[in-house]
Amino acid sequence: MKRAIAMVLAAFMLTFGVIGMSGCKFFGILLTGTDKEEITRRLETFLSYLDKGDAEGIRSLFAATSIAAQPSFDQNLAGLLEYYSGESVSYRSWGLCIDEEKDYEIRRKWYDMSYYVTTTVEVYRMAFIWCAKDTGNSANQGIVSYDILRYADDPEPNHAFRGDGYSAPGINIGIIPERQPDVEDCSAM
């Protein structure tokens, strides 16, 4: 009997160990309502600034460290406003991951988001790495990496769009990766 209990406990621990190591693939499926609401709010705020051509509003959403890491940030921001046409009418999530990290007392949380965005003129693929929390350095909070590509230009439209595949900081426009990285979609919302 003791052996059976030990085996059940071992199976239980192994199961949760595998689930824990699967990272965002498993936990992306179990997004809380609060996470979904927060992610939706962030996306809709970004799209409202983009629709209005509000460069300062868009800039305010980026992490200060990301802006500093891309010397051409302001030129890329102006390029984004030229590249993007129309006003958003709908969006659809292609994949979403939430990664959290605790290092002693420092807590970090990132959203890795991939969307189709349809405007009155065009359909776009968008990928974000968005730092939602960093208690060790608030300058890291905000959009870390943003990629946009016209759907018509995407050689792999049936896969999750991960931008340039390197999560380059700042704004990355129309970059067609040589090959999309081999990552699994965490979930579709």
Q: Is residue 31 in some structural domain?
A: yes
The per-residue pLDDT of the chain, averaged, comes to 82
Lowest mean pLDDT among 4-18, 20-34, 148-162, 170-184: 4-18
Q: In Å, what is the CA distance from 170 to each residue of 6, 56, 68, 90, 110?
A: 51, 14, 9, 24, 15
Count of the separate structural domains present in the chain: 1
Task: Please tell me whether residue 129 adopts helix, strand or coil conformation.
Answer: strand
Name residue 100's beta-bridge partners. 109
**Least confident interval from 36-40, 139-143, 175-179, 183-187:** 183-187
* Mean pLDDT to the nearest integer, 32-50: 90
Nearest CA among 167, 123, 125 for reference residue 148: 125
Instruction: Read off the pLDDT band of 28 (50, 70, 90).
Output: very low
Tell me whether residue 29 is in a domain: yes
Does position 168 have pLDDT exceeding 50, yes or no? Answer: yes
- Average of per-residue pLDDT across 78-98: 94
For residue 1, being part of any structural domain is answered with no
Which tokens belong to 102?
A: 């605790």
Domain extent for 97: 23-173
> CA–CA separation, 92 vs 111, rounded Å?
16
Answer yes or no: is 183 within a domain.
no
pLDDT for residue 88: 98
Evaluate whether residue 187 is within a structural domain: no
Half-sphere exposure of 4 (CA within 13 A, CB side): 1
Residue 56 lies in a domain: yes
Global pTM reads: 0.77
- 40 within some domain: yes
**Any idea what the CATH number is for the domain that residue 67 is in?**
3.10.450.50
CA 83 to chain centre: 20
In a domain, 13, yes or no: no
The residue among 109 and 25 whose pLDDT is bigger is: 109
pLDDT, one tens digit per residue, over 149-162 is 999 999 888 888 88
| More confident site: 178 or 159 | 159
- Whether the pLDDT of residue 27 is over 50: the answer is no
Buried-state track 50-78, b at ≥16 Cβ within 10 A, e below 16: beeeeeeebbeebbebbbeebeebeebbe
Does residue 5 surpass a pLDDT of 90? Answer: no
pLDDT, greater one: 45 or 27: 45
